[in-house]
């Protein structure tokens, strides 16, 4: 309604013989207040206006450039300027208008140039990508990024996998605090509300230097949402419906800012039924499970999330506190939980929406505070976090081995508290160095309950100190190097069975003993990690080489477990002599981007000195196969390639492929691959933008075609998985029904268009021969206000 005029001025000065500097400032013409956070983007040029509205682009070669200036709430504008000894000064007036809102660059945090200069191989995912590609969980959405895959447990839960490694080998960070749950578990999914996420940085490669233990395969860094604009209040409501699992979801978010204080809040609720698979029966070993109405029995679930953030920004101080709670309940496939075949008198087919046993429920509560203070050329970052993860696995009480029928359905209870403190100082002693040093402290207190036993209770304290320097040898050549030392103490608690087992003694007598499953033990670990890399930007091409050493502290279950995992029909034995896992990785990355064409390749080679591996032995314990934690040398290599081009004005083509080769080069499974190895896979997409018609703006149709090869490289107890091809289609547009209001975003997505019957080698349900979900139509509507 109100036209806001943007006053934009540009001036320049001679910097060197053939290199110039563009300086400018962005102000709001109405209020004459400087505008912070405006994006200034050109071919190879990028800047963001500071809190005083100013920006600088250094080392610009002589020539003609086109710059696009954009800011939330203002329409973007493109200017052409000649950079040279005598440069024109430009003044541009921009008018806010509802129909032009679509041009606004929402993705202000994508500091493309900064990413280019950084030697680590990373990929930044914008809110726009997340909105357009949204699937049932955050990780399923991120699966479209080459090198990223997931281990899914049903339709609503998944855990991250980067280049074939997951579980505790990938770190998930939210608001600079490491997300700590029961991520070692097979049937655990990431407890994060994907609607609250704006920007995700994915690091493919070793990142222990900055993220500590576990960042061995990569990092999913969910970054702090960007600051709301001064004196603003805005919100949105997302509605989602899906046909495959009859999902209904609603998420509402609001954010506002006066001058110094800002806040944001979000509520999300999702409820879904059993998901449908394109088969009417499941064949598992010699068992046949008939499915009612193609429903994968008892895989319904629900999720309710809430979050609230309050922040303060003034001068050199910025502080934000976030509270969030994620609560979910998910059913597990009723006929076989893990590998165990079950009969039950529960009438699972009476409703496809109820969640019967077996199921799990999880509640993740998190408080984080991120404070940064600028003192001179130093910026001090302080992150504080508290997390409570409470997870219950419930199943029908059934006798097993010497265990009589348990009294209730509480099979396993996990309750984990994690306290985190990060202190980091970033400073620039001169223009060429960006130095950072800091310490990370973390304390975990993990408690267990229930009649089943898998992981002992433990306390764990870790401390790590690091320093790294990004050194500018030349404006286009950057060096990044750093070192880190970590020390950890793990205190595992003893655990005894609640029932006696029959033990045949060597003298022929029989005793009945409450067997000890875990011992009281204190273990210490120390590790050095580091990274050295180089980034070189030549015209439209960025080259990176990075060598890193990362590590992972052994987990309590890897060290101390000694019990029956009935779901997997195995006996798991820990090993107190395990060393911290350490891995060396060499990464290369090439990216060539022009307006019409872009190409990238990121190969890697990785060696594990002592990969911790749960080895299936050839011996039994009480008629269950013994699986023992052992360490072996592992060689891995692979990478991703990607290309995209704009063939016609409105037609964009993208292609990407990913591949990982893994081989154990020592130990009992020498010559075998690693569990859950993703097969060679390619994704081809074509999107076409039509002309606006009626009330639809920017209508766009996109087809994604995934071709995945067979996975013939397996390790016991896996099975070979055949290749598959699957087609997904989507339609997105903005809908402007009421001229005065902001346009709605509408998205219609058809997954698995041909209802293809296929298996995903890295799905939890693959082991029991459950195919992937069938055709799914989803409709999503985002209403801003």
Partner 1 sequence: MGFSTKYFFIPILILVVASCTTDDNAAKDEQKPTIDINYDEGFPQACSQLVRGETYSFKAMVSDNVELASYSLDIHHNFDHHTHDDQDGECSMDTKKTAINPWIFIENYSIEDGLTIYEISIGLTIPNDIDTGDYHCSFSVIDETGWQSRTSVDIKIID
Residues in 385-414 that interact with partner 1 by CB under 8 A: 396, 398-402, 404-405
502 touches partner 1 by CB under 8 A: yes
Per the DSSP assignment, residues forming a β-bridge with 489 are 461, 524
536 touches partner 1 by CB under 8 A: yes
Gap between the Cα atoms of 575 and 21, Å rounded: 60
Stretch near partner 1 under the rule CB under 8 A, chosen from 126-134, 179-187, 474-482, 548-556: 474-482
CB of 642 to partner 1, least distance (A): 14
Q: Is the CB of residue 58 less than 8 Å from the CB of residue 475? A: yes
Closest CB to partner 1 among 481 and 717? Answer: 717
Stretch near partner 1 under the rule CB under 8 A, chosen from 52-60, 219-227, 622-630, 771-779: 622-630
Among 619, 691, 694, 740, binds partner 1 (CB under 8 A): 619
CB of 779 to partner 1, least distance (A): 41
601 touches partner 1 by CB under 8 A: yes
Among 669, 702, 747, 766, binds partner 1 (CB under 8 A): 669
74 touches partner 1 by CB under 8 A: no
Closest CB to partner 1 among 421 and 624? Answer: 624
346 touches partner 1 by CB under 8 A: no
Query: Rounded to 5 degrees, what are φ and ψ at 567?
Result: -60, -35
Among 103, 271, 354, 476, binds partner 1 (CB under 8 A): 476
500 touches partner 1 by CB under 8 A: no
104 touches partner 1 by CB under 8 A: no
What is the three-class DSSP state of 127?
A: helix
Among 102, 617, 644, 755, binds partner 1 (CB under 8 A): 617
342 touches partner 1 by CB under 8 A: yes
CB of 147 to partner 1, least distance (A): 15
Instruction: Classify the phi-psi angles of 345: left when phi > 0, otherwise alpha if psi is within -120 to 50, otherwise beta.
Output: alpha
CB of 593 to partner 1, least distance (A): 14
CA nearest 471: which of 212, 119, 139? 119
Gap between the Cα atoms of 664 and 678, Å rounded: 16
Query: Rounded to 5 degrees, what are φ and ψ at 211?
Result: -115, -5
Closest CB to partner 1 among 95 and 474? Answer: 474
CB of 475 to partner 1, least distance (A): 11
Closest CB to partner 1 among 544 and 552? Answer: 544
Would you tell me how many other CB atoms lie within 10 Å of the CB of residue 262?
Answer: 21
Among 84, 668, 723, 784, binds partner 1 (CB under 8 A): 668
Which residues have C-beta within 8 Å of that of residue 250, sequence separation ≥ 6?
237, 238, 239, 240, 268, 269, 270
Q: Is the CB of residue 555 less than 8 Å from the CB of residue 185? A: no
Stretch near partner 1 under the rule CB under 8 A, chosen from 203-211, 226-234, 341-349, 431-439: 341-349
Closest CB to partner 1 among 23 and 476? Answer: 476
Instruction: Classify the phi-psi angles of 783: left when phi > 0, otherwise alpha if psi is within -120 to 50, otherwise beta.
Output: beta
Gap between the Cα atoms of 587 and 605, Å rounded: 7
**Please, what is the end-to-end C-alpha distance for the chain in angstroms?**
14
289 touches partner 1 by CB under 8 A: no
Query: How large is the C-alpha radius of gyration of the chain?
Result: 27
Gap between the Cα atoms of 195 and 243, Å rounded: 20
Closest CB to partner 1 among 430 and 623? Answer: 623
54 touches partner 1 by CB under 8 A: no
Q: Is the CB of residue 608 less than 8 Å from the CB of residue 217? A: no
The whole-angstrom distance between residue 383's C-alpha and the CA centroid of its chain comes to 20
CA nearest 159: which of 130, 191, 197? 191
Closest CB to partner 1 among 248 and 479? Answer: 479
616 touches partner 1 by CB under 8 A: yes
CB of 613 to partner 1, least distance (A): 12
Cis, peptide link before residue 717, omega less than 30° from 0: yes
Among 345, 430, 431, 510, binds partner 1 (CB under 8 A): 345
Which residues have C-beta within 8 Å of that of residue 599, sequence separation ≥ 6?
590, 591, 592, 593, 641, 642, 643
CB of 533 to partner 1, least distance (A): 14
Closest CB to partner 1 among 638 and 699? Answer: 638
Gap between the Cα atoms of 160 and 565, Å rounded: 23
Closest CB to partner 1 among 417 and 593? Answer: 593
Residues in 715-734 that interact with partner 1 by CB under 8 A: 716-717, 720
709 touches partner 1 by CB under 8 A: no
The burial of 474, by beta-carbon neighbours within 10 Å (0-12 exposed, 13-18 middle, 19 or more buried), is given as: exposed
Q: Is the CB of residue 147 less than 8 Å from the CB of residue 163? A: yes
One DSSP character per residue, 430-491 reads STTEEEEEEEEEEEEEEEEESS--SS--EEEEEEEEEEEEEEEEETTEEEEEEEEEEEEEEE
Among 16, 17, 259, 343, binds partner 1 (CB under 8 A): 343
Closest CB to partner 1 among 400 and 742? Answer: 400
453 touches partner 1 by CB under 8 A: no
Closest CB to partner 1 among 350 and 619? Answer: 619
Residues in 538-597 that interact with partner 1 by CB under 8 A: 538, 541, 543, 569, 588, 590
603 touches partner 1 by CB under 8 A: yes
Closest CB to partner 1 among 259 and 343? Answer: 343
Closest CB to partner 1 among 389 and 565? Answer: 565
Stretch near partner 1 under the rule CB under 8 A, chosen from 58-66, 325-333, 557-565, 662-670: 662-670
Gap between the Cα atoms of 657 and 601, Å rounded: 10
CB of 618 to partner 1, least distance (A): 3
Gap between the Cα atoms of 424 and 512, Å rounded: 56
Q: Binding residues for partner 1, how many (CB under 8 A)? A: 55
Which residues have C-beta within 8 Å of that of residue 114, sequence separation ≥ 6?
none
Residues in 477-496 that interact with partner 1 by CB under 8 A: 477
Gap between the Cα atoms of 445 and 387, Å rounded: 11
Among 635, 688, 731, 758, binds partner 1 (CB under 8 A): 635
Per the DSSP assignment, residues forming a β-bridge with 516 are 496
779 touches partner 1 by CB under 8 A: no
Q: If you search the block for the tokens 């016991």, which residue do you land on?
A: 716
CA distances from 239 to 248, 747, 783 (A): 8, 10, 8
Closest CB to partner 1 among 447 and 617? Answer: 617
441 touches partner 1 by CB under 8 A: no
CA distances from 568 to 336, 340, 441, 456, 768 (A): 10, 7, 35, 18, 11
102 touches partner 1 by CB under 8 A: no
Q: Is the CB of residue 641 less than 8 Å from the CB of residue 600? A: yes
Among 1, 17, 32, 286, binds partner 1 (CB under 8 A): 286
Gap between the Cα atoms of 169 and 43, Å rounded: 37
CB of 722 to partner 1, least distance (A): 15
Closest CB to partner 1 among 55 and 536? Answer: 536
CB of 564 to partner 1, least distance (A): 11
671 touches partner 1 by CB under 8 A: yes
Regarding beta strands 39-42 and 562-565, do their DSSP bridges make them parallel or antiparallel, or are they unpaired? unpaired
Give the DSSP letter of residue 493.
P
CA distances from 445 to 460, 465, 516, 526, 529 (A): 7, 22, 21, 20, 25
Residues contributing to the site for partner 1 (CB under 8 A) = 285-287, 341-345, 396, 398-402, 404-405, 474, 476-477, 502, 536, 538, 541, 543, 569, 588, 590, 601, 603, 605, 615-625, 635, 637-639, 661, 663, 668-669, 671-672, 714, 716-717, 720
């Amino acid at each position: 309604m109100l036209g806001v005029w943007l006053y934009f001025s540009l001036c320049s000065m001679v910097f060197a013989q053939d290199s110039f500097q563009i300086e400018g400032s962005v102000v709001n013409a109405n209020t004459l207040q400087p505008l912070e956070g405006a994006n200034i983007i050109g071919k190879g040029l990028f800047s963001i206006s500071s809190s005083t509205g100013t920006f600088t682009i250094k080392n610009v070669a002589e020539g003609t450039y086109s710059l696009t200036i954009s800011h939330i709430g203002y329409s973007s504008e493109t200017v052409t300027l000649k950079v040279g000894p005598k440069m024109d000064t430009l003044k541009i007036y921009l008018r806010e208008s509802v129909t032009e809102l679509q041009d606004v660059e929402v993705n202000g945090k994508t500091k493309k140039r900064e990413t280019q200069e950084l030697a680590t191989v990373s990929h930044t995912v914008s809110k726009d990508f997340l909105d357009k590609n949204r699937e049932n969980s955050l990780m399923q959405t991120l699966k479209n990024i080459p090198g990223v895959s997931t281990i899914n447990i049903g339709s609503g839960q998944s855990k991250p996998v980067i280049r074939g490694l997951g579980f505790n080998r990938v770190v998930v960070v939210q608001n600079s605090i490491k997300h700590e749950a029961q991520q070692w578990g097979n049937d655990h999914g990431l407890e994060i509300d994907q609607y609250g996420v704006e920007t995700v940085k994915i690091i493919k490669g070793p990142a222990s230097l900055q993220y500590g233990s576990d960042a061995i395969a990569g990092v999913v860094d969910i970054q702090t949402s960007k600051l709301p604009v001064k004196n603003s209040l805005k919100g949105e409501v997302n509605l989602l419906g899906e046909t495959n699992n009859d999902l209904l979801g609603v998420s509402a978010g609001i954010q506002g800012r006066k001058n110094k204080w800002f806040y944001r809040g979000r509520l999300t609720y999702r409820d879904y039924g059993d998901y449908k698979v394109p088969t009417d029966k499941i064949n598992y070993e010699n068992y046949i499970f008939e499915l009612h109405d193609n429903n994968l029995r008892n895989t319904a679930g629900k999720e309710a999330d809430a979050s609230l953030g309050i922040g303060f920004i003034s001068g050199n101080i910025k502080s934000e506190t976030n509270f969030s709670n994620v609560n979910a309940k998910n059913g597990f496939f009723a006929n076989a939980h893990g590998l165990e075949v079950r009969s039950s008198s529960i009438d699972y087919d009476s409703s496809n929406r109820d969640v019967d046993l077996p199921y799990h429920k999880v509640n993740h509560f998190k408080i984080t505070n991120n404070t940064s203070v600028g003192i001179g050329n130093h910026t001090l970052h302080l992150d504080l976090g508290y997390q409570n993860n409470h997870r219950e696995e419930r199943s029908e009480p059934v006798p097993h081995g010497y265990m009589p029928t348990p009294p209730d359905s509480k099979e396993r209870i996990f309750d984990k508290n994690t306290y985190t403190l990060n202190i980091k100082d970033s400073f620039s002693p001169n223009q060429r160095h960006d130095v950072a040093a800091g310490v990370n402290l973390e304390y975990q207190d993990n408690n267990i309950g229930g009649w089943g036993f898998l992981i002992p209770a433990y306390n764990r304290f870790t401390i790590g100190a690091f320093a790294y320097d990004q050194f500018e040898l030349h404006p286009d050549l950057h060096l990044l190097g750093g070192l880190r030392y970590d020390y950890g103490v793990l205190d595992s608690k003893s655990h005894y069975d609640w029932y006696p087992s029959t033990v045949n003694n060597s003298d022929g007598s029989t005793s009945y003993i409450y067997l000890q499953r875990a011992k009281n033990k204190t273990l210490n670990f120390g590790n050095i990690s580091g990274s050295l890399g180089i980034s070189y930007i030549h015209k439209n091409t960025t080259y990176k080489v990075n060598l890193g050493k990362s590590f992972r502290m052994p987990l309590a279950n890897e060290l101390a477990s000694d019990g029956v995992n009935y779901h997997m029909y195995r006996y798991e034995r820990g090993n107190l002599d395990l060393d911290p896992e350490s891995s060396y990785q060499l990464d290369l990355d090439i990216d060539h981007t022009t307006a019409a064409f872009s190409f990238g390749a990121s190969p890697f080679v990785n060696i594990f000195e002592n990969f911790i591996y749960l080895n299936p032995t050839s011996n039994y314990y009480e008629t269950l196969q013994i699986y023992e934690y052992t360490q072996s040398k592992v060689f891995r290599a692979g990478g991703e390639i990607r290309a995209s081009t704009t063939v016609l004005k409105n037609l964009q083509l993208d292609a990407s492929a990913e591949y990982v080769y893994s081989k154990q080069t020592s130990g009992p499974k020498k010559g075998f691959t690693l569990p859950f190895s993703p097969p060679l896979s390619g994704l081809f997409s074509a999107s076409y933008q039509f002309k606006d018609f009626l009330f639809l703006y920017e209508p766009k149709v996109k087809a994604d075609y995934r071709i995945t090869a067979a996975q013939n490289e397996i390790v016991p107890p896996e099975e070979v998985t055949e290749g598959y091809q699957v087609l997904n289609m989507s339609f997105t547009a903005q809908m402007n029904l009421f001229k005065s209001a902001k346009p709605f975003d509408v998205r219609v997505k058809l997954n698995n268009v041909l209802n293809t019957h296929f298996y995903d080698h890295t799905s939890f349900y693959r082991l029991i021969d459950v195919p992937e979900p069938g055709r799914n139509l989803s409709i999503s509507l985002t209403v801003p206000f």
